[in-house]
Amino acid sequence: MRRGFRIEPYLEFAKKAFAREATYRMEVFTSVGSLVLRIYLMRMVWLALYAQNVAPQGIALHQMLTYTVVALLMSLILEVDGTRLIRDRLRDGSIATDFMKPTSPALFYFSDGAGQTALHAMLILPSLGFALLMVHIDVPSPLAAAVFFLSFAIGYVVNFFLNFCMNCVAFWTMETFAIQLIVRWCSDLLSGQIIPLLFFPGILERIVLALPFAAIYSTPLLIYIGRITPAEYAGALLSQVGWLVVFAVLGTIIWRAAQRRLVIQGG
């Protein structure tokens, strides 16, 4: 930083991460295939449920299917653990060299994550193609679409920092795999990825809507299907930004402590 900030090295890191992810071709196909299976499954589940019951919470079948498919497409990006590199490099010790380089280690991990995300974002198009063969997806108004993308972007950063904090825990415990999966499953349920948070009973609904997980999936999705109206956009985005700030600050604190910890381990 002292020598003046240059963006080029970070773009190069991102490009390398993109190329690295692209070499795991089988994994890429598997993630699209698994998504297609899940879209089929959820389509059949909601069809069966709507066939015998009254639409709850005023969410019609077509809205529900749209919600589910968009949530699954979003998960292609949101399930990327952008900073898992921290964990890997801690385990094999190469993290030390990251701190010796003239670039910022945190920004190095961030750009690596951005590169991985870019590759997975490219899978959205073919997946959307397959999805459209099975289900009809509502198209939102241009305003709703624009606000959805903005909200999704904020949710992405919230999720990114949440993962970053989790990966930094490895500075203390080395192993975070099980804990991360536990948090992932809870977050899948509490963020509205699997089912809309509006379905949660009574007081629970208000609690889950107030938790940070809602900022990841629920807010953008409810904007997409029109349950958050234009009059509510500002409030919804503001609460997302609030969580972003909280996690960014938390991430910074943990990162500082982690750096100290690394020095102690090395000394």
List residues binding another protein (CB under 8 A). Answer: 26-27, 29-30, 33-34, 37-38, 40-41, 44-45, 47-50, 52-53, 56-57, 178-179, 181-182, 185-186, 188-189, 194-195, 199-201
Identify the residue whose tokens are 């890997």. Answer: 88
Minimum CB separation of residue 82 from another protein in Å reads 22
- Asked if 171 and 165 count as a contact pair (C-beta separation under 8 A), the reply is no
Distance in angstroms (rounded) separating the CA atoms of residues 264 and 173 = 15
Nearer to another protein, 32 or 248 (CB): 32
Minimum CB separation of residue 165 from another protein in Å reads 18
Q: How many CA atoms lie within 13 A of 244 on its CB side?
A: 14
Residues 6 or more apart in contact with residue 60 via CB below 8 angstroms: none
Minimum CB separation of residue 48 from another protein in Å reads 4
Minimum CB separation of residue 3 from another protein in Å reads 43
Nearer to another protein, 12 or 175 (CB): 175
Nearer to another protein, 59 or 150 (CB): 59
Identify the residue whose tokens are 């385990």. Answer: 91
Distance in angstroms (rounded) separating the CA atoms of residues 139 and 265 = 54
Q: What 8-state DSSP symbol labels residue 58? A: G
Give the sign of the dihedral formed by CA 15, CA 20, CA 24, CA 28. Answer: negative
Give the three-class secondary structure for 18: helix
Minimum CB separation of residue 73 from another protein in Å reads 17
Number of H helices, E strands in the chain: 13, 0
Nearer to another protein, 35 or 254 (CB): 35
Nearer to another protein, 198 or 246 (CB): 198
Give the three-class secondary structure for 196: coil
Nearer to another protein, 15 or 38 (CB): 38
Distance in angstroms (rounded) separating the CA atoms of residues 159 and 220 = 13
Q: How many CA atoms lie within 13 A of 49 on its CB side?
A: 15
Minimum CB separation of residue 178 from another protein in Å reads 5
Nearer to another protein, 159 or 193 (CB): 193
Minimum CB separation of residue 105 from another protein in Å reads 27
